[in-house]
Chains A and B, each alone.
Chain A
């Protein structure tokens, strides 16, 4: 095995690329401009899907943290999954804010406004950046995982607040497009949006699987003292080179 890829991840990656390509073609060229939003509706085929994957990623972190804290299911793998899902979630949450801001500038006239949805999303990103920083604080592996799990659960409290912010407060941000009795989008526009959800879900899964394997490999190398062995070998090689030259 050259890296962290397997047949399963290759198939997953291929499906992610195909659905993403389909989303881009449908979103940028096949679908017509919207009556209200004009060309800017094309951002709606990716922005909600990216935002949802951010929420899913942080939800997975919360669930894995809970499973780590529960004595009967406590396992190092839950801690690893919580960490990698949070990292992928941070990428998605950052892109949510960026794409939302790009859509907001021509629509609302501003790059940023202290709207409930925007503010709670920014807070969510800050909380999980803090969570990732907490994971890097040195300490004994067990206690580090426990405090990270508690931190992950505390940070994830903001996830439902972000999701329901458009219902709980009067916001500038539009409400749900799909999760309502009569969806606001139809036909090829609906297809493009749903394909976008599939594409970004597959991308999330692919990233989490690979990132998990990388983190697992790094931890195992560290545990076995391979890093030290490598450093010693490199030092030996350098000495040998000096002698030869």
Chain B
């Protein structure tokens, strides 16, 4: 496979995957924080 072609696909797909992963993780973190905050202080 042509090196330029491979680099183009690799950069595009890995960047989008990394960004999507960050968005999902941030969503989970915020949802967890919301649940904790709604639960109130621990005894």
Contacts and interface: CB of A to CB of B under 8 A. Distances in A.
Interface of A: 1-5, 20, 24, 27-28, 38-40, 42-43, 46-47, 50, 91, 94-95, 98-99, 102-103, 105-106, 203, 206-207, 210-211, 213-214, 217-218, 221, 224, 226, 229-230, 232-233, 236-237
B19 A207 contact: yes
Contacts of B30: 214, 217-218, 221
Contacts of A27: 9
Contact of A233 (B7, B26, B34, B41): B41
Contact of A43 (B4, B27, B41): B4
B5 A28 contact: yes
Interface of B: 1-2, 4-5, 7-9, 11-13, 15-16, 19-20, 23-24, 26-28, 30-31, 33-34, 36-37, 41-42
B19 A230 contact: no
Contacts, number: 104
B33 A230 contact: yes
Contacts of B19: 91, 207
Q: Which of B13, B15, B26, B42 has the most chain A CB atoms inside 10 A of its CB? A: B26
Pairs A-B, 4 closest by C-beta atoms = A4-B27, A3-B28, A39-B2, A226-B37
5 contacts: A42-B9, A99-B12, A105-B4, A226-B33, A226-B37
Provide the main secondary structure of the chain B interface. helix
Given A39-B2, A230-B37, A217 B31 contact: yes
B9 to A, nearest CB: 7
A139 B13 CA distance: 36
Contact of A203 (B16, B34, B41): B16
Given A4-B31, A40-B4, A207 B23 contact: yes
Given A217-B30, A226-B34, A210 B24 contact: yes
A103 B4 contact: yes
Contact of B9 (A38, A46, A210): A46
Nearest to A224: B37
A206 B20 CA distance: 9
Given A210-B27, A218-B30, A229-B37, A237 B9 contact: no
A100 to B, nearest CB: 9
B11 A3 contact: no
A84 to B, nearest CB: 9
A128 to B, nearest CB: 15
B23 A50 contact: no
A221 B37 contact: yes
B18 to A, nearest CB: 10
A236 B4 contact: no
A237 B28 CA distance: 22
